[in-house]
Structure 1
Amino acid sequence: MTVQLDVDAADAYTVLTTFDKLTEINPAVQRVTVRERISTREAVLETEVQVCMLWFCKLLLQVQDMRWQPTDNAGGTLVAQVRPAESNLRYGQAEWRIWPCEAHSCMRFVAEIEPDFWVPPLIGPWVIRRKLEQEALQTSEGIERLAKQLR
């Protein structure tokens, strides 16, 4: 998913990489704990995200290796890799990229997950994809809202 944000790319990137603000960006994020700061651009995060799809709600517990790299022209990239042994996902990775573009900034979000719990086989994958898209939109709106507060 790629979206345009009505804020400066540097401000959007600052908000995205301020991990203690993630619960303000998206209310589905219930808790964020920085387990370890490995370097100035690497950390281990533990998150709890409440996801409800149709009649089914699940608390996603994720421990993720996070790496981020700002770019010289503002913005940057953030990559998350799930640690399956410490999460309730068999697999998960995500990448956010923010860069300057026509409308102030653009953000691209790509994610792939494999749950470690039962998902209804026929509609489950479709519903999960739709929910991920909704959460990505809500996250982009939250980033935009918090970035506007920086100015």
Structure 2
Amino acid sequence: MLLSVKNLSTEFPVKKGIVKAVEDVSFDVDAGEILAIVGESGSGKSVTSLSVMGLLAEPGHVAGGSMEFEGKDLVHLSEREYRALRGNDMAMIFQEPMTSLNPVYRVGKQIVEAIRTHENVSKKEARERAIDMLRKVGIPSPEKRI
């Protein structure tokens, strides 16, 4: 099993008590499978995904259940261990793609930084790979755009 989520519960403490954003969610995903999480606005789709990815903002927290990725217990991973998984082994496509890149910084710098964070490559090699990625998605003159 690639990803196994069992009885996941995620909560947010608020002034008047606790908001249970996700309660008793379970699913399994095998390698090569695609999982679609569908529901109404506010039903917990994003919170479920953020919980699995270890990206849940404080004061939100996983209050119960288990999550395993390739046999690794995600509930008890440190931020450093999660960072090592994200990007290479597991990733998330966010609902709002416009917030994925910071418009203040050059796109090339951000792509190069992401490559170097997850792979042991030189700045030059990361830059070449970033140019190639831009080319593959149809960005004209990627050498200039980077």
Shorter-chain TM-score: what band?
under 0.3
Which fold has the larger relative contact order, with Cα–Cα distance below 8 Å and residues 6 or more apart in sequence? 1
Whichever structure has more helix as a proportion of its residues is 2
Larger radius of gyration: 2
TM-score (norm 2): 0.26
